[in-house]
């Protein structure tokens, strides 16, 4: 079953985010607010609601749309971020929910390609926790 959703994405800073492998229903459970710290120590917040997404890193926030393709393994998450310069930046990722309160993301190097798998210790990965 292919479930695709679109939403607006936040910052170009999303390049530091990536997730993989689903053990819950990511297509419905991804909605809500997620928080974590990237490998560079920046605090990240992602808010998914319907078709919109907001990404905050430190004191910067970007908004945009998102799509999720759960026919792929791992699921493919794509953010379309509105940059401060007025452009739209596509951020291709992989995503998984290892549990109902954890979201793992992985973005490709340079935002040019989508990773194919999660790898222990690989760059551009982040584990987010559902905000309470």
Residues 81-104 have pLDDT tens digits of: 999 999 999 999 999 999 999 999
On whether residue 96 sits in a domain, the answer given is: yes
pTM value is 0.78
Range of the domain at 61: 8-103
Q: Which residues contact 3 (CB under 8 A, 6 or more apart)?
A: 27, 68, 69, 70
On whether residue 112 sits in a domain, the answer given is: no
The predicted-structure confidence for 5-18, as pLDDT tens digits, reads as follows 433 233 333 433 33
Phi and psi at 29, nearest 5°, equal -85, -10
pLDDT band with cut points at 50, 70 and 90 for residue 4: very low
> What CA–CA distances, in Å, run from 129 to 86, 88, 89?
30, 27, 25
The pLDDT mean for the chain works out to: 82
Given a cut of 70, whether residue 39 has pLDDT beyond it is yes
The predicted-structure confidence for 50-70, as pLDDT tens digits, reads as follows 999 999 998 899 999 999 999
Number of domains composing the chain: 1
On whether residue 14 sits in a domain, the answer given is: yes
On whether residue 110 sits in a domain, the answer given is: no
State the pLDDT at residue 41.
Answer: 85
């Amino acid at each position: 079953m292919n479930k695709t959703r679109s939403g607006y994405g936040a910052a170009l800073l999303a390049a530091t985010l990536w997730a993989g492998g689903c053990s819950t229903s990511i297509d419905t459970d991804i909605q809500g607010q997620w928080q974590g710290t990237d490998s560079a120590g920046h605090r990240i917040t992602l808010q998914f609601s319907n078709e919109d997404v907001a990404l905050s890193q430190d004191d910067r926030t970007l908004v945009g749309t998102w799509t999720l393709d759960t026919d792929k393994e791992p699921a493919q998450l794509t953010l379309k971020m509105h940059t401060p310069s007025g452009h739209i930046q596509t951020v291709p990722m992989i995503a998984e929910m290892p549990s109902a309160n954890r979201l793992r993301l992985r973005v490709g190097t340079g935002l040019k390609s989508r990773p194919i798998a999660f790898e222990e210790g690989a760059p551009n990965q982040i584990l987010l926790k559902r905000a309470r």
